[in-house]
Amino acid sequence: MDAFFASVEQLHHPEWRGRPVIVGSGPHERGVVSTCSYEARRYGVRSAMPSREAYRLCPCAIFVPPDMESYESVSRRAFEVFESFTPYVEGVSIDEAFMDITGSLHLYRGDGSVPPERRLAEALRAAVRRECGVTCSVGVAPNRLLAKMGSEMHKPDGLAVIPPDAAKIEALLAPMPVGALWGVGKTTEKALAPYGIRTCGDVRRIPVGQLTAILGSRAAAESLARYARGIDGSEVMWRPVEEKSVSREHTFSCDEPDREAVRAKLLELVADVGRRFRASERWACTARIKLRDSGFSTRTRQTRFAEPARDDMTFREKALELFDAELPPGRPLALPVRLVGFGVSNIQREPDDFGPALFDSPSEERRKKRERLSMAIDRLRERGFSVQ
């Protein structure tokens, strides 16, 4: 994600867009910059810089303290987007992840005019921008090292696709400074500089034995030699996580004053939550909506289903019940709506706590009929049909 904390602040404060924003300690406090917008970086401001120094370089900057709750909320939405492209997602930090997209590329072949890797990456960037309101930079490559380097090449909102061709990779890396390699820090750069080793191409010309003498470690020398050639055997370290809830949120590009437009967006979110929820055998006991107005006041309402549910009809009924209770029909909105969200929680692996019954009750038959209908609609949507 690009200048993530600062980007979220600009998302929540549109009047700050295009202006230098610094997240961290105040300009006259003994603290440091956590991150800053690209507008502030043009003045020379950098992460970990003392805030007083940042103020000296950019006195016109807007200084704001970190709001981790907001950042984590946007991060959760971003990771939901990542997981909609592939289940193999390795979170590195609140704003960075590796994804193994090998099994997803066949979905983005198109007519062959654009490589599927680029199609997928462009779709990913567009989805993050649409669902989260911030930008991300993407690197697509045959391994984690090169993907990380690719994501840094064209920030902000950039995209780099590095093909799996050894000769092209070596040519690409040759002029790059050693410090561009992931994991190579200032200490290693300083150790190599007296020997004229400043680029990846320089590293490749030095025998591993000589690198070992310089760095004082055979393992470090061998690792650096591999990295300078773009070789990295590590894999995306993902692990399935049992979801405690499934939710979706949408931030309007402009605060929405029309109740019916907010309601329509809520129903879109309900349909998407239902589709994602039915990807595995499970039932939810609780529905929840979230509304944030233009004054940044956030309200949530939740209620339990009459019985555990996983179908669109039940999800929609409860979502609208909560929505009408919070924003009664026929009344104008007190303030325009900035964000709307829907989610389900209290998940269980059986539709009831008593196990299967010998005969289905009328309510059980109704539940199964609704579930069959919802899953049929899911299949139609997968085939590209629009179903309301």
pTM: predicted TM-score of the whole model, two decimal places: 0.65
User: Which segments of the chain belong to CATH 1.10.150.20?
Assistant: 166-228
- Give me the torsion for CA of 184, 187, 191, 193, rounded to 10°: 70
pLDDT number for residue 162: 96
**Quick one: which H or E segment has residue 285?**
strand 283-293
Structure confidence by residue, pLDDT tens digits, 45-90: 999 999 999 999 999 999 999 999 889 989 999 999 998 899 899 9
Query: Which pLDDT score is estimated for 381?
Result: 67
Specify the residue for token string 């939710």.
247
Looking at residue 221, what is its pLDDT?
Answer: 94
- Joined tokens for residue 89: 């997602």
Q: Where are the domain boundaries for CATH 3.30.1490.100 in the chain?
A: 245-382
| Residues of the chain with confidence (pLDDT) below 70 | 239-243, 353-362, 381-388
CA distance 216 to 197: 16
Residues 6+ apart with CB under 8 A from 384: none
- Which residues carry out catalysis? 96
CA distance linking residue 205 with residue 3, whole number of Å: 36
Give the pLDDT score at 243. 66
- Write the DSSP symbol of residue 61: P
- Residues of each domain in the chain carrying CATH 3.30.70.270: 69-161
- Round to whole Å and give the CA distance between 285 and 287: 7
Q: Which of 267, 273, 356 lies closest to 311 in space, CA to CA?
A: 273
Q: Can you give the pLDDT at residue 356?
A: 47
DSSP secondary-structure letter at 351?
A: S
What is the fold, at CATH topology level, of the domain defined by 4-66? MutS, DNA mismatch repair protein, domain I (3.40.1170)
Question: 166-228 has which CATH code?
Answer: 1.10.150.20
Q: Which residues contact 118 (CB under 8 A, 6 or more apart)?
A: 140, 159, 161
Amino acid 388: pLDDT: 59
Element (H, E) at 301: strand 298-309
Number of other residues whose CB lies within 10 A of the CB of residue 359: 6
In whole angstroms, give the CA distance from residue 288 to residue 248: 11
- Kind plus residue range of the DSSP H or E element containing 378: helix 362-382
To which CATH superfamily is domain 245-382 assigned?
DNA polymerase, Y-family, little finger domain (3.30.1490.100)
The CA distances from residue 21 to 73, 128, 134, 237, 250, in Å, are 20, 21, 15, 34, 24
- Domain 69-161: state its class: alpha beta
Non-local (6+) Cβ contacts of 140 within 8 A are: 101, 117, 118, 120, 121, 147, 150, 159, 160, 161, 162
CATH 3.40.1170.60 in the chain, residue ranges: 4-66
